[in-house]
Amino acid sequence: MAKVCFLLANGYEDSEMKNPYEAVKEAGHTADIVSLEKGVELKGKKGTVSYTSDFSISEVKADDYDAIVIPGGGAPEALRINDEVVEFVKQANEQGKVIAGICHGPQVMISADILKGKNATSFVGIRDDLKNAGSNYMDKEVVVDGNIITSRTPKDEPAFIREILNKL
């Protein structure tokens, strides 16, 4: 079974964390919540779910995981400005690990500079950011390019989850 890292900070899109997290665990995989600090409560922007971080980013290495999932909402903004998070995602990509981002999640991938030449999608509000990062933006429910999986919005979660589970 795979070991999956969910990169999380406050203000994430509730369902974009809850649904993939539960699906990964139901499929028998291990799911760790990694944030900027260990043991802190992280609240979704709609307030329907909250999680406590298992590890801080300084406690983990890309080697520890088979995949990284980055839910959207406001959380990716807080994550992408942290050098350790950016380096973690960059190293995971160099190791060919699955990296999945939905909605604003690809912002972390942009900061890690791993989307150049890749097909990708995202929330329409960061479409130009993806293009400026050198990716080929596609307006589709899910885009898989090698080890990178991206989706647009909560309504795309079934396809996003399906592709994550396929890769695991």
Residues assigned a catalytic role: 103-104
Residue 62 CA, chain-centre distance (Å), reads 14
137 strand-pairing partners: 120
Q: What are the helix (H) ranges across the chain?
A: 14-26, 75-80, 83-94, 106-111, 127-132, 157-167
Cβ 34 vs Cβ 7: under 8 Å: yes
Measured distance CA(139)–CA(41) in Å, rounded: 34
